[in-house]
Each structure stands twice: as structure tokens, then as C-alpha cells.
Amino acid sequence: MTKEQIKEKAEFIALGTFLSAWPNDLDYNDVMDLMTLHDAYDLADKGIDIWQPFENHPPEDITGYIQDLHDHIINSFTL
């Protein structure tokens, strides 16, 4: 697997672990940017749904969880 393929899979896995849905036309960076700028209600209006077990967590925290998992996956496969 190339580094780009690992990056794409890490982005998908990290987003999918904490989000139930996000628009197909948004890439990882777009989703992360929106999550840092909006509250959960605004995110739902934009098609970003936080997975139910995390719905009471602030979007800023979830963004951190997503980034941590993303980085962990990349580090695990590129060392």
C-alpha cells in the first residue's frame, strides 16, 4: 500500500469511527474544519452526524479524537 492509500484509509476509518454520516463531497480536511467551526446542531444541518455514543461530546473534542486515531493509524503502517 502506498502512503497516499494509507492516508486515505486512515481518514475514512477515523471519520467513520466517530461520525455516522458526512457528505461525500467533503474531504477529511473539510469535515475537520467544519467541526472546529460549528456546534453539533449546525453540523447536522451540514450533513455531518456525530455517532450516538459521542453525541454529548463537544465537536472540538471529537475532532481531537478523530485526529488522534488518524495519526495512530498512519504511524502504525508507515513506521
The model's pLDDT over 3-15, given as tens digits with 9 standing for 90+, comes to: 999 999 999 999 9
Over the stretch 36-72, which tens digit does the pLDDT of each residue have? 998 878 888 999 999 999 999 999 999 999 999 999 9
Residue 51: Cβ within 10 Å count: 14
Euclidean distance between CA atoms 51 and 17, whole angstroms: 8
Residue 47 in grid coordinates: 450533513
- What pLDDT is attached to residue 60? 92
The confidence score (pLDDT) of residue 20 equals 96
Give this prediction's pTM: 0.92
- Residue 40 pLDDT: 79
Query: What is the three-state SS of the chain?
Result: CCHHHHHHHHHHHHHHHHEEECCCCCCHHHHHHHHHHCCHHHHHHCCCEECHHHCCCCHHHHHHHHHHHHHHHHHHHHC
What was the pLDDT predicted at 1?
85
